Amino acid sequence: MEEMGLPELWHMDGDALDLTAAAERLAPGLKPDFLRTRGGLLFKSCLVDGAYHFGAIPWVWQGERGRHYDISLPPPEERHLIGTITAYGELSLLFRNPDIDDEDRKAYREAAGALAVLFSAARSDASWPFDGITRQLFEAAQLWKPAPKVLDELDPGASSPD
């Protein structure tokens, strides 16, 4: 299995941070009370030139529904992981590219692995279960065999399902 290295830079809200600072910034948004009162969290993430980019907004903020397109990340958009954490901690991960190739698969695995590292560093007491649609998408896209049930099952160093 080919291994990827973890990103050295973690970009959040336009700031370049190390993993510890990024996790500290994200941690309040992953707390159960925050997720319940804001209806969950919408996020997008990607790896570009070895740096991990992550943006998130509450599902509901000041009476308005959040939208993924309000989160700005660097291109290419077809490599963005688009995700949601429900008010009860269930995780959805989707991607825009319906016709992925091996290079895309590698990019999605690496971005999802970095997401697992970031979420674990921000809140180690949660396992973040994937919803059924996400697990089906992982299997159909041949990202992992078998598809993980929780984010903690992702191997952040894996870039191949075999």
Mean pLDDT, rounded, for 78-92: 92
Mean pLDDT, rounded, for 109-122: 92
Structure confidence at residue 152 (pLDDT): 86
pTM for the predicted model, two decimal places: 0.88
What pLDDT digit, counting tens, does each position of 23-69 carry? 999 999 999 999 999 999 999 999 988 899 999 999 988 888 888 87
The beta-strand segments (E) located in 3-161 are 10-12, 15-17, 40-48, 51-58, 60-61, 64-65, 81-86, 91-95
Structure confidence at residue 2 (pLDDT): 40
The answer on pLDDT for 120 being more than 70 is: yes
